[in-house]
Structure 1
Amino acid sequence: MTQQPFSRPGAIDLSGLSQPAPGAGAPSASGSYAVGVTEQNFQEVVEASLTAPVVLVLHSPSRSPESTTYADDVATVVAGYEGRFLAGLVDVDHAPQIAAALQVQQIPVMMVLVDGRPATQPIPGVLRSDELSALLDQLAQQMTAQGIGGRHQPRSNPVDVDGDGEPDYDPRYAAAQDALGDGDIDRAVEEYQKLVTANPADVEAAAGLAMAKVLQRTQGVDLNAARAEGAAKPDDVEAQTMVADLDMLGGHVEDAFNRLVNLVRRTTGDERNAAREHLLGLFAAVGNDDPRVLKGRRDLMSALY
């Protein structure tokens, strides 16, 4: 297999998706890290690549049944990376406008999205599982070298063992929650970090860790002094992220997001990356399904490009 260059070419043109086909059905996607992509949720899947890479596979059950088998195989390989990638399976029979927006000429074809943009040239045809793993390993290494280590949330539902319609209590979180109850923020961070280290795809633990770190960073901080410093230093990453943390604690979630989005827009280089990473941490604390986070991700993408 020829190695694909890792790059950041132009953003995807979504103009062709302004009027989704009515009644288009959603293709099925199996696995915790796979999603069936439709014209309605395509923008959301593209935005998910702000967190971690998205592996898009375009296939057609009617024109090429083997392409659909290949899409399922890609989802299986992606699942082994436990959130480092998300497989987005596009049934072009149901979503022809996506194929048009991506200028796809043949089926199957695979491409990897990072930060809302293609990170590789389109890869036509069927790759063997070992070839696909080699490609994803290479991309994962390059992303790690660039300091990008985000992971996707699993797409499976919480377990409801007793059938009462509510996710069952998980004792794994007891130690961290007890620490928070005792006001021991440092211990809570340690307990949540243990859970995240053991399973980086544990969304609840990651959210708990992110929020515990907000509490940890703001311990003993003088609110008025921090806000005064933020007003005096509008482009200082440390000052602005502190005010954003305080906004989060005060329940002003959108203010926190907007502050850091605007900081990303005004900064460059390491400062921009630090602001972006801090904002992604606040997204994790709130939860990726929250409407405020979905809007924040769209605003972040606009600020980056």
Structure 2
Amino acid sequence: MSGAVDLSSLKQPPAGAPDAPGGDYAVNETDFETKVLRRSIALPVVVALYSQRSPGSVELVKLLERLVVEDAGSWALATVEAETNMRIAQAFGVQGIPTVVAVAGGQPLADFQGAQPEAQVRQWLNAVIDAVAGKLEADAAAEEPQAAEDPRFVAAEAALEEGDLAGAEAAYEAIIAAEPNNDEAKGALRQLRFLGRAQIVPESAIATADSDPADVDAALAAADLEMLNQQPEAAFDRLIALIKRTADDDRTKARTRLLELFELFDPAEPIVVASRRKLAAALY
């Protein structure tokens, strides 16, 4: 069934969606996204669609409730009363009750219909568990333990969250002083310094620069504002144009600012590669 069923319609249940019957594993249209789709990112979720009016389907649900306890966390169970949660039944294309579907990574993986003997259900469950082994986020996290956070970066980020730009800058500078090749600290410091500079540029800077092309400082400020407004190409082009029409110290100032803005991006970013070519043409 993988990829054959679209469950996206169940991510935003309608207001007033009916509750499913009680039980530790009961799921309804309101909590389907949380208890099934999101949970299936970490481990397979077995969805049992049943009816209280079908003794066979009730017995199958009881069997699954026992097996999920026995398996102690290798999969999760979600029981859905189909008649009161028709949108879920329709999303899975249910044609008969009971229907059991395994969901992994937010997508249906396998299913079966009708009451089955315990041995056959157990075989099916084992196949599902084997199929997703090592492929879900929980497995990957277990294989690759997360490194402890560097307290120096934690302190810098805390200062930034509190609006203490000077404190954050000092924290990153201290890291670089101790580790001159710490690229993460260097990148953070560049971003921070740009932010501190660009945030005080007035909104009129672009109009001012456009009205007086000879004003180098106005052009630099306008480029910062364009970058802050997520218009990097406009900022790069403005500074390259300034480099073309200036010389000596003014040209050096414009080129230095352009290179600073380049460093805010990955060097392989297409817009940076293209702008570096334009810069070379402007200089030579």
Relative to the length of structure 1, the TM-score reads: 0.46
Larger relative contact order (CA 8 Å, sep ≥ 6): 1
Compare the two structures and name the one with the higher helix fraction.
2
Which one has a bigger Cα radius of gyration?
2
